[in-house]
Amino acid sequence: MAYRAPEGRGYADVAAHFREQIKDGELAPGDSLPSVSEIRQQFGVAGKTVSRALAVLKGEGLVVSRGALGTVVAKTPLVTTGANRLDRLNKSGRQYAPGETSTGHQVIQRSITDPEICAALEMEPHDEAVIRIRVFRQDGEPTSVGFSIYPPHTVAVVPELAEEGQMTTQFDKLYEQRTGRAVSRGRMRYRSRHATRDEMIALEIDTSFQSAVPVLYTTVTYHDEERPLTYWEDVYAPGLGAEESD
């Protein structure tokens, strides 16, 4: 049976299949993709369709040609966002991609003054929230700093959020179990700004460097049907980009 979109763009479907496997960590950097003949048989498409799909993935920097090894997964400059990491965990049970770890876990309680965060969480300026911080690494190198900010009404349902240490169960699962209300994700926003000194330290950027250091960051808010539950921000190391959210 042909593996094709309604418009007949089979190459896009084949590319999407392997892109998803790479994003979910089923295919790690250095892993070989199936041969062209194997992909043809798997999806019931022509060799030209496979070639176009591989060209798309190469153009995105996700795979490279390695001679006798065929097409292999590249060490991509794209970093997983916190939202996509949560999606991957819920779908596959994988908390980390191959070679990925997290360090520097912190839990602090602090008053929030940032107008954007206050508006996103429907908080008054200087209301207190729980902030969880962690540094994600790929093969030991820091790639992003993740911040998640939880207002008091979310912490009241999931008090584990205020406890030190890494969470063993994702907050959305605990919240849904305890309230019966589904947690949904808002629209992710991609922006840039200059890194703060704390972010430069976390990302191991030389803080004696006098010039401002531009970084990409993403933000997203999670809600139930009544109100916002948390605001997430991921800040990426210079030179790295974030994978697009579904």
In angstroms, the CA 122 to CA 152 distance is 11
Residue type for 229, please? L
CATH code of the domain covering residue 147: 3.40.1410.10
Residue 89 CB partners (closer than 8 Å, separation 6+): 95, 170
Q: Are residues 111 and 177 in the same domain?
A: yes
Length of the chain: 246
Residue type for 145, please? V
Q: Are residues 91 and 211 in the same domain?
A: yes
CA atoms within 13 A on the CB side of 19: 20
pLDDT for res 20: 84
**Closest CA relative to residue 155, chosen from 174, 169, 136:** 174
Q: Are residues 167 and 64 in the same domain?
A: no
pLDDT in tens, 50-97: 998 999 898 878 899 988 778 999 876 556 777 777 777 777 677 777
| Residue 6 or 204, more confident | 204
Q: Is residue 15 part of a domain?
A: yes
Please list, residue by residue across 79-111, b when 16 or more beta carbons sit within 10 angstroms of its beta carbon and e when fewer do. Answer: bbbbbbbbbbbeeeeebbbeebebeeeebeeee
CATH code of the domain covering residue 30: 1.10.10.10
Q: Is residue 219 part of a domain?
A: yes
Which of 4-8, 164-168, 191-195, 223-227 has the lowest average pLDDT?
4-8
| Residue 208 or 139, more confident | 139
Q: Give the containing element (helix H, strand E) for 105.
A: strand 100-111
Q: Are residues 53 and 90 in the same domain?
A: no
Q: Are residues 26 and 141 in the same domain?
A: no
pLDDT for res 241: 61
Predicted TM-score (pTM) of this structure: 0.73
Q: Is residue 87 part of a domain?
A: yes
Q: Is residue 123 part of a domain?
A: yes
End of a domain among 24, 46, 73? Answer: 73
**CA-only gyration radius of the chain, Å:** 20
Nearest 5°: CA angle at 215, between 209 and 216? 175
Give me the number of domains the chain comprises.
2
pLDDT for res 7: 43
End of a domain among 43, 73, 103? Answer: 73
For residue 243, pLDDT over 90 is answered with no
Q: Is residue 4 part of a domain?
A: no
For residue 22, pLDDT over 50 is answered with yes
Q: Are residues 62 and 175 in the same domain?
A: no
**For residue 8, what pLDDT band results from cuts at 50, 70 and 90?**
very low
pLDDT in tens, 141-193: 999 999 999 999 999 999 999 999 888 889 999 999 999 999 999 988 989 99
Q: Are residues 131 and 230 in the same domain?
A: yes
For residue 242, pLDDT over 50 is answered with yes
CA distances from 237 to 24, 79, 143 (A): 21, 9, 5
Which range of residues forms the domain containing residue 141? Answer: 78-242
How much is the mean pLDDT over the chain?
86
What 3-state DSSP class applies to 148?
A: strand
**Closest CA relative to residue 232, chosen from 121, 125, 128:** 121
Q: Are residues 102 and 216 in the same domain?
A: yes
Q: Is residue 2 part of a domain?
A: no
Q: Is residue 163 part of a domain?
A: yes
Q: Are residues 161 and 226 in the same domain?
A: yes
Residue 60 CB partners (closer than 8 Å, separation 6+): 19
End of a domain among 55, 73, 91? Answer: 73
Q: Are residues 41 and 95 in the same domain?
A: no
pLDDT for res 203: 93
Q: Are residues 36 and 125 in the same domain?
A: no
Residue type for 17, please? H
**For residue 244, what pLDDT band results from cuts at 50, 70 and 90?**
low
| Cβ–Cβ < 8 Å for 138, 98 | no
pLDDT for res 115: 94
Q: Are residues 28 and 105 in the same domain?
A: no
pLDDT for res 26: 81
Q: 61 is written with which tokens?
A: 């920097």
pLDDT for res 168: 84
Residue 87 phi/psi, 5-degree rounding, is: -60, -45
Q: Is residue 56 part of a domain?
A: yes
